[in-house]
Structure 1
């Protein structure tokens, strides 16, 4: 029984570690607004370049932004 509880408690940590590795290896992910299509539909049905990703279809992952923020704060504190 304790083995199951131990494995269940390690699951979130392993998920976070995998996401951290993914953010380091591949910092770019699909844009959540246009879903990587580079455009979105307006209210009247026309296509427009996505403003969130500037029409590239790619955005920096949230985990990468957090890691960059922590690194910047750490470096600023050591000066």
Structure 2
């Protein structure tokens, strides 16, 4: 087998495995930790005392994963198109 073909097949296989595992992760755990507050739900106040609720996650400490967001969009698009 040609080395270029072998490299191409290997790269495609690895990419498919990574995409499949990420899809399973989005299905099992659709939410990840908020990147701004690191899941702590609160941020320090600008003055330095006290805390305030994280605006990005609205105090939940969670965010919707990109893959789950894409899945929800495709599902909504399909359901709107078949009505």
Q: Which TM-score bucket, shorter chain as reference?
A: 0.7 to 0.9
Distance in 2, matches of 1:70 and 1:9, equals: 24
Tell me the residue number matched to 1:3.
Answer: 6
Across the aligned residues of Structure 1 and Structure 2, the Cα RMSD in angstroms comes to 1.5
Distance in 1, matches of 2:76 and 2:12, equals: 31
- 5+ unaligned residues in a row in structure 1: which ranges? none
- 5+ unaligned residues in a row in structure 2: which ranges? none
Larger Rg: 2
Question: Structure 1: which 4+ aligned runs deviate by more than 4 Å?
Answer: none
Deviation at 1:5, TM superposition (A): 3.3
Q: How many residues align?
A: 79
Q: Deviations over 1:27-69 (max 9, x none)?
A: 1110111011111123322321112222121122121111001
TM-score, normalisation: structure 2: 0.81
User: How do residues 1-79 of structure 1 correspond to structure 2 at under 5 angstroms?
Assistant: 1=3, 2-46=5-49, 47-79=51-83
**Deviating more after overlay: 41-50 vs 56-65:** 41-50
